[in-house]
Chains A and B, each alone.
Chain A
Amino acid sequence: MRLLRIVPDDTKFDFMRFRRISFPISALLSIAAIALYFFHGLNFGIDFVGGTLMEVQTKAGPADLSKMRATIGGLQLGDFQLQQFGAPDDVLIRISEQPGGDEAQQVAVQKVRAALGDEVDYRRVEVVGPSVSNELLAYGTIGLMLAILAILIYLWFRFEWQFALGAMIANVHDLVLTVGFMSLTHIDFDLTSIAALLTILGYSLNDTVVIYDRIREMLRRYKRMPMPDLLNASVNATLSRSIVTHVTVAMSLLALLLFGGQAIHSFTATMMFGVVLVGTYTSVFIASPILIYLGVGSGRMGGPEEPEAPALAPSQTPAPASRSTPGPRARARR
C-alpha cells in the first residue's frame, strides 16, 4: 500500500530567508491587532461586564425578532441585543448590566420572563452580577499571565534563556493576533475565550518546543554549521510532523465546528484561527528565526551564503561555538 506523504522527504526550503519579510509582517499585524483591541474593542460577554443572557426557543414556528424586540424594549432595561442563534426559532437575548448592584440583575430576568411568558422555552439563563464579573475578568487576566510566566520558567530550565524568551515572544504574538481576530470578528469574549487563549498558548508552545528540541539537538551535533542553515535544517526535519499534526488538529476542530453546536462555536473558531493558522506560521517563521536575533549561535562562522562547514578535526572547533550550545546542565539531563 502506498502511504500518503503530504510533505515529501528531505525538503530543503529556505525558511530563514523569509525572516526579513515575516518579521515586518508580524510586527504590522500585531500593531493592527492591538489597534483593533483599543479602537474596535472586544465584544465582552456577560462573564466580564455583567448582565443577563437568555437563550429562548419559540414554541410555535420561527421567532418574530421584531415583535420580541418591541416586547423587551417596553421593559425599560437599558441596552439589549437580540440575535438569532443557530436555528430560526432560537433567539439569544443579551441585556446589559442593570444599575443597582447584584439584586437589580435578578429583577431584570423576572421582568423578561413575565413579558415573554409561556410563548418560549427558556433554554439557558445566565445572570452575572457586577461583583462576580469584575472578579472573573481579573482572574482571567491573572491566569493568562501566570500561565505565561510558569511556562517561561519551565522553558528556561529546560533550554537556554534565549529559547524561553524566543518562545514567549512568538507565542504572545500568537495571542495578540488571536485577540485581534476576536475583535475583528466580534466573537463573544467570555470565560470560554480565556480557555481558548490558554489552549492556543499551550498548543503553540507545544509546537515551538518540538522545533526547539530539534534545534538543540542539531546545535549539539553540528558544531560549525551556520545558524540559518541549522535552523532551516531543523524546521525542514520537523516539517512533515508539523503538517500532519496540524491536519489532525484541524480535523478535530472542524468536527467540533460543524457538529459541536452553537455553544462552543466561538471557542472552536478562535482555536482554528489561533492554533491552525497562526500557530503553524509562528513556529516556522517567527519562533525559529528569532533565535538568530536573540544571539543563539552568534559565535558560529559565516552566513547562509558560505558553504557548509567541512568536517574539521575536533581540536579546531572554535571555542565560541560551544558557548551557544546548551551547557553541561542540559547535556547531563539526556
Chain B
Amino acid sequence: MLFFTRWKAAAILLTALAVCLFAVPNFFPERMVKNWPSWAQRHIVLGLDLQGGSHLLLQVDAATVRKDQLLSINEDVLRVLRTARIPFTGRAIRGNAVEVHITRDTDIDNALGKLRELSQPVGGFAGTTGQRTIDVAQNGGVITLTPTDAAITERVHQAVDQSIQIIERRVNEIGLVEPTIQREGIDRILVQVPGLQDPSHLKELIGKTAKLDFRMVDLSMTPEQAAQAHPSDSEILDGEKGEKYLIEKRVLVSGADLVDAQPGFDQRTNEPIVSFRFNSSGARKFAEATQANVGKPFAIVLDNKVISAPRINEPILGGSGQISGSFTVQSANDLAILLRAGALPAPLTIIEERTVGPGLGQDSINAGEHAAYAGAALVIIFMFVTYGLFGLFANIAVAINVAMIFGVLSLLSATLTLPGIAGIVLTVGIAVDSNVLIYERIREEVRHGRSAINAIDAGFTRALATILDSNITTFIAAAVLFYIGTGPVRGFAVTLGIGIITTLFTAFTLTRLIVAYWVRLWRPKVVPI
C-alpha cells in the first residue's frame, strides 16, 4: 500500500496539479482572462442567487396550440372537399376533433381517401415513430379528424423553439446582459437574466403574444346590437380604454407581413407613435384594402385589443404607415420591439419567478466565504490537535481536495449557488472523515501490536475499503438529487458529487503518497498518532 513507482507518483501529482490549475482563471478579473487561450478560460459561473438576477420559467399554452391546429385542420377539410367537389354539410370543431358530414353516401370513400392525405407522419420526413398527425375515423356519413397527441406534442415542441427565438430577439432589443434562454422539458422555457433587479419590464415584453392584425370595423350595427345578434363574421373587441368595437373577423393584413417598426413622434401632435413598413405582399394587400374602403374606419388589433381605429382618408399605397394610440414613449418603444421581433405562436404564462437583488447576492457570497473560512479554521485546528503531523497531512490533502473541486467546477463551467457552497463545506467534512478513518485504523493496528510501517500499511488497506463503501452511498444520494433537483438544489448535488469523487481521489492517492514519502524519509519506529 505504501509503495509507489516513480511514474505513478508523478502521474498522481500531475493530475492533482492540473485539476487545481483549472481553478486559476476564477481568481483573475475577466478582462485579463479574455486574452488567455480558450481552453484556459473556463471558469465557475455564479448562480443567480449569488450574483443577483431574474429567473423566469414560462410555459407555452398547449390549449392554444391545440386550438390553432384544429382551426387549420378545419380550413384544410374545407379546401380539400371543395377542390374534390364533394358536397358536405355540418363542418365544425367539436371538442378535440373536426367533424364533417358527407352529403352523398357514394362520395364517402373518395372523401375518406382525400382527407386521409392530410395526415402526415409526425416529425415530417425525419419522423421514424410511425405515428401520424391526424386520426381519421368514419361513422356512417360523418368523418371525424382528430389530431393525435404525438402531433400536438410536436407542435408544442415547435412552438417552444419559435418562442425561444422570438424571446431572444425581444430581450436582446432591451439590451440585457447575457440572458440565457433555453428549453425546459417539453413545453417550458427558462429565461435567466443576471443582474436584473426588477423583471417587470422583461415580464411585460415576454408576456405579450404581439399578434397584430389590421381589420375593418363592422359598421352594420353597433356593438350593443351585436351583443344581442351575435354576427358570425364579426366580433366585439375592447379598446385601450375599455370602449367596445365591433370588428370584422377577416384579417386585411397581419403582423407577419411587417418588415420594420420604429418608435417616433407624430409631427403635428408630437405624440409618441410607432411607424411601420410592410413587405411587398403586405403593401399590396394594404393598398387594395385601403383603396376599397376610403372613408371607413379600420382597426389595428394587438392581442385581441383595439389599439386604434382610424378613418381611411386616402388609399395608403406606399406600404408604410403609423400607429397612434394612447402611447407613452416607453410603450411605443415596446410595441416597436414586439412588432420587429414577431408574434409568439402561442401565449406564454410565467409559472415560476425567482429574483434576487444584487445586495442579497453579495451578502450571500460574503456569508458563504465567512462560513467556509470559519469551518476550515475549526477543522484544521481540530485535526492538528487530534492527529499532530498526520493531521497536518490531512489538512494538506483536504486543501488540495477543495482546490480540485474548484478546478472541476471550472472545467465544467458549472454554476455555483449558495447551496453549492454548503455542499463544498460538507465535502470538507467528508474529506476529513476519510482521513479520520485511515488514522483511526492505523491507531488500532498499532494497538494490536503491529510495527509502525506495518500498521500504516494495514490501516490504509482496511480503511480504504470502508471509505469506498461509505462514499458510494453518499454519491448515490447526490446523483439522485442531481437528477430530480432543479436550480439551487442541483447546485448542491453537483458540488457534493464532485466533492465525493475528489475525496476518493485524494484519499486513495494523495494522502497515501504523502504518508509513503514521509515513511521513506523518516523510517519511523513509532507512529506519531
Q: Does B189 contact A (CB under 8 A)?
A: no
Q: How far is the CA of A213 from the CA of B464 in the complex (A)?
A: 11
Q: Which residue of A lies closest to B479 (CB)?
A: A150
Q: Please indicate the chain A residues that have their CB under 8 angstroms from the CB of B329 in the complex.
A: none
Q: Please indicate the chain A residues that have their CB under 8 angstroms from the CB of B357 in the complex.
A: 121-124
Could you say which of B428, B443, B480 has the most chain A C-beta atoms within 10 Å of its C-beta? B480
Q: Does A185 contact B (CB under 8 A)?
A: no
Q: Which of A194, A241, A264 contacts B489 (CB 8 A)?
A: A194
Q: Does B473 contact A (CB under 8 A)?
A: yes
Q: How far is the CA of A142 from the CA of B386 in the complex (A)?
A: 41
Q: Please indicate the chain A residues that have their CB under 8 angstroms from the CB of B480 in the complex.
A: 143, 146-147, 150, 198
Could you say which of B386, B462, B489 has the most chain A C-beta atoms within 10 Å of its C-beta? B489
Q: Is the CB of B489 within 8 A of A195?
A: yes
Q: Which of A17-25, A69-77, A203-211, A291-299 contacts B (4 or more CB under 8 A)?
A: A203-211
Q: Please indicate the chain A residues that have their CB under 8 angstroms from the CB of B465 in the complex.
A: 213, 334
Q: Please indicate the chain B residues that have their CB under 8 angstroms from the CB of A251 in the complex.
A: 375, 378-379, 382
Q: How far is the CA of A259 from the CA of B243 in the complex (A)?
A: 58
Q: Which of A5, A106, A122, A154 contacts B350 (CB 8 A)?
A: A106
Q: Which of B419, B433, B473 contacts A248 (CB 8 A)?
A: B433
Q: How far is the CA of A213 from the CA of B441 in the complex (A)?
A: 13
Q: How far is the CA of A5 from the CA of B385 in the complex (A)?
A: 9
Q: Is the CB of B425 within 8 A of A124?
A: no
Q: Given A129-B351, A252-B429 in contact, is the A268-B356 Cβ separation under 8 Å?
A: no
Q: Given A123-B359, A129-B352, A258-B374 in contact, is the A210-B476 Cβ separation under 8 Å?
A: no
Q: Please indicate the chain A residues that have their CB under 8 angstroms from the CB of B355 in the complex.
A: 122, 124-126
Q: Please indicate the chain A residues that have their CB under 8 angstroms from the CB of B387 in the complex.
A: 3
Q: Does B59 contact A (CB under 8 A)?
A: yes
Q: Please indicate the chain B residues that have their CB under 8 angstroms from the CB of A9 in the complex.
A: 443, 447
Interface residues on B, range: 35 or more
Q: Which of A191, A209, A261 contacts B364 (CB 8 A)?
A: A261
Q: Does A311 contact B (CB under 8 A)?
A: no
Q: Does A32 contact B (CB under 8 A)?
A: no
In the assembled complex, the CB of B178 is this many whole angstroms from the nearest CB of chain A, namely: 20
Annotate B351-382 by CB proximity to A: 1 below 8 A, 0 otherwise: 11111110110011001101110110011001
Q: Is the CB of B476 within 8 A of A150?
A: yes
Q: Is the CB of A255 within 8 A of B443?
A: no
In the assembled complex, the CB of B260 is this many whole angstroms from the nearest CB of chain A, namely: 31
Q: Does A158 contact B (CB under 8 A)?
A: yes
Q: How far is the CA of A57 from the CA of B359 in the complex (A)?
A: 10
Q: Is the CB of A126 within 8 A of B354?
A: yes
Q: Is the CB of A123 within 8 A of B375?
A: no
In the assembled complex, the CB of B193 is this many whole angstroms from the nearest CB of chain A, namely: 13
Q: How far is the CA of A121 from the CA of B363 in the complex (A)?
A: 14
Q: Which of B197, B440, B447 contacts A10 (CB 8 A)?
A: B447
In the assembled complex, the CB of A124 is this many whole angstroms from the nearest CB of chain B, namely: 5
Q: How far is the CA of A209 from the CA of B387 in the complex (A)?
A: 24
Q: Does B349 contact A (CB under 8 A)?
A: yes
Q: Is the CB of B353 within 8 A of A192?
A: no
Q: Which of A181-208 contact B (CB under 8 A)?
A: 191-192, 194-195, 198-199, 201-203, 205-207
Q: Which residue of B lies closest to A127 (CB)?
A: B353
Q: Which residue of A lies closest to B438 (CB)?
A: A241
Q: Given A9-B447, A213-B465, A247-B382 in contact, is the A198-B198 Cβ separation under 8 Å?
A: no
Q: Given A195-B485, A258-B371 in contact, is the A126-B476 Cβ separation under 8 Å?
A: no
Please name 12 further chain A to chain B contacts, defined as beta carbons within 8 Å, in addition to the given A10-B447, A217-B462, A255-B374, sorted by A numbering. Answer: A5-B386, A143-B485, A210-B470, A213-B469, A237-B444, A240-B440, A245-B432, A245-B436, A248-B382, A252-B379, A256-B375, A261-B363
Query: 8 tightest CB-CB pairs across the interface, nearest first?
Result: A261-B367, A255-B375, A202-B477, A143-B484, A259-B370, A202-B474, A255-B374, A123-B360
Which residues of B are in contact with A by a Cβ distance under 8 Å? Answer: 49, 57, 59, 197-198, 200, 203, 349-357, 359-360, 363-364, 367-368, 370-372, 374-375, 378-379, 382-383, 385-388, 418-419, 422, 425-426, 428-430, 432-433, 436-437, 440, 443-444, 447, 462, 465-466, 469-474, 476-481, 483-489, 492-493, 496, 528-529
Which residues of A are in contact with B by a Cβ distance under 8 Å? Answer: 1, 3-6, 9-10, 55, 57, 101-103, 105-106, 109-110, 113, 121-129, 131-132, 136, 139-140, 142-143, 146-147, 150-151, 154-155, 158, 191-192, 194-195, 198-199, 201-203, 205-207, 209-210, 213-214, 217, 237-238, 240-241, 244-245, 247-249, 251-256, 258-261, 263-264, 267-268, 271, 334
Can you show 25 pairs from A to B with CB atoms below 8 A apart? A9-B447, A103-B349, A123-B357, A127-B352, A132-B352, A151-B473, A191-B485, A198-B481, A199-B477, A202-B473, A202-B474, A206-B471, A207-B470, A210-B469, A217-B462, A237-B444, A238-B440, A244-B440, A252-B426, A255-B371, A255-B425, A260-B370, A260-B371, A260-B422, A271-B426
